[in-house]
Amino acid sequence: MQDLLSILFFIKRNKVDKKGLVPIYMRITYSGKRVEISTMRKIEPSRWSTDGNQVRGSSAEAKMINRNLDIMKNKIYDIFQRILDSGDDITSEILKNVYLGNDELKKDIIEMFDEHNSRMKKLVGKDYSFRTLQRYNTTKKHISSFILFNFKRKDYPVMDIDTKFIHSFIYYLKTELDLSHNSSLKYLSYLKKIVRVAYANGWIEKDPFYNFKLKLQVIEREFLTKEEIITLMEKQFTIPRIEHVRDVFLFSCYTGLAYSDVFKLTSDDIVKGIDGSQWIKIKRTKTKTLSSIPILPVAEKIIEKYEHLDSPTGKLLPVYSNQRVNSYLKEIADRCELKKNLTFHMARHTFATTVTLSNGVPIESVSKMLGHRSLKITQHYAKILDAKLSEDMNLLKKRIAIEDGKRMKTFQG
């Protein structure tokens, strides 16, 4: 490998100063690419030996300059060997930056994830949720395994990330990890955020995600019908933990609250609304936006059922861990003979679709209750049921029939 590395010194004869001296430069060439570094030394042009690559003569000054040039050369070789041993990429530019102390400009992607996630961990509960930190940690794990799989190394220079790297990462997630298209793009979005931090700090010259577009696939979100909700309500459970999970799930069906928001819900979040009835007002864990939700009778009954809950943290409902809840929901679905893949987030879809929109609640109001920042997000949850469409169209038919009848009377008259 050292055969690819060349270090020599030369003078720049076109940069003569007022005293007739010219500067001495060091040229580093590696794999055909070269860079130059000033040695901060000057001499008279006639004293430089091109063949010897040093200052001519045996004067004290000549010996001192030549000794300094040897030190510089040996330092470059030491840096080269150190980088070679580490397994990192080597370029003449990298050798120059390390020598000049500018190696901080060389950032690796896993190193950046470590720094980012470490800072985020200290802000959990303030600026970020624990769930968000988990997603970044999982993304880092996937990136690490991808780099090891594709490049046989532990880290990868962020400056070398390009569209080929991005497409290879997506392919790896889909094939080696068997992730769906949308799940792969979610992890890619976290990588994108880290890469753009590098771009903002000047660690990379251009953003590899600029003009890079991959669209999420439209997925039909499942929700429970009115009949399925009734089946859940009427089912009798003898095991308390199963009954608790069923009740909390139904509570979310009638409030639209996500798991993280139900988990932290306390009596302090129940207030008297503008209409004098009970409302839930809570800042969403995910978006930090305010959700304002009038409490429907079913949700009110569930709150009353657990009003004597002895919780040291003041929780309103008995909410288990997300993993346990989703596990118990599978058991509940089996006992109720529901064919759908019951997950806690399905309750949020059910609220948007079956409970609100299908009963004529405007999408603007649904968006406000869900705590969404835009109607576009709500539209991903909201489906208008065939029954609602049929009802609306029948009303339209009746209105048209009445108007047509009036017109016919006028025409015949």
How far is Cα 184 from Cα 83, in angstroms, rounded to an integer?
Answer: 33
Pairing relation of β-strands 278-283 and 270-272?
antiparallel
Pair 265, 274: CB distance under 8 Å: no
The pLDDT profile of the chain, 413 residues, written as one tens digit per residue, is 455 899 999 999 999 999 999 999 999 999 888 999 999 999 999 999 988 889 999 999 999 999 999 999 999 998 888 777 766 678 888 888 878 876 555 689 999 999 999 999 998 878 888 888 999 999 999 999 999 999 999 999 998 899 999 999 999 999 999 999 989 999 999 999 999 888 877 678 788 998 888 787 766 778 999 999 999 999 999 999 999 999 999 999 999 999 989 999 998 999 988 888 999 998 887 777 788 899 999 999 999 999 887 777 778 999 999 899 999 999 999 999 999 999 999 999 999 989 998 888 888 888 889 888 778 777 776 665 566 667 677 777 877 777 666 555 554 55
What is the pLDDT, as a whole number, of residue 3?
Answer: 58
How far is Cα 65 from Cα 58, in angstroms, rounded to an integer?
Answer: 11
Write the DSSP symbol of residue 161.
-
How far is Cα 352 from Cα 282, in angstroms, rounded to an integer?
Answer: 18
Question: How many CB atoms are located within 10 Å of the residue 33 CB?
Answer: 10
Pair 226, 385: CB distance under 8 Å: no
Q: How far apart are the first and last CA of the chain?
A: 103
What is the pLDDT, as a whole number, of residue 86?
Answer: 61
- 346 burial via Cβ count (<10 Å: 0-12, 13-18, 19+): buried
Q: What pTM value is reported for the model?
A: 0.57
What is the pLDDT, as a whole number, of residue 216?
Answer: 78
Domain boundaries, the chain: 2-104, 109-200, 226-382, 386-413
What is the pLDDT, as a whole number, of residue 144?
Answer: 96
What is the pLDDT, as a whole number, of residue 283?
Answer: 84
How far is Cα 181 from Cα 307, in angstroms, rounded to an integer?
Answer: 43
What is the pLDDT, as a whole number, of residue 1?
Answer: 47
CATH of domain 226-382: 1.10.443.10
How far is Cα 152 from Cα 140, in angstroms, rounded to an integer?
Answer: 16
What is the pLDDT, as a whole number, of residue 198?
Answer: 83
Can you tell me whether residue 279 is helix, strand or coil?
A: strand
Residue in 140, 78, 152, 74 with CA at minimum distance from that of residue 113: 140
How far is Cα 39 from Cα 71, in angstroms, rounded to an integer?
Answer: 11
CA angle 250, 254, 256 (to 5 degrees): 105
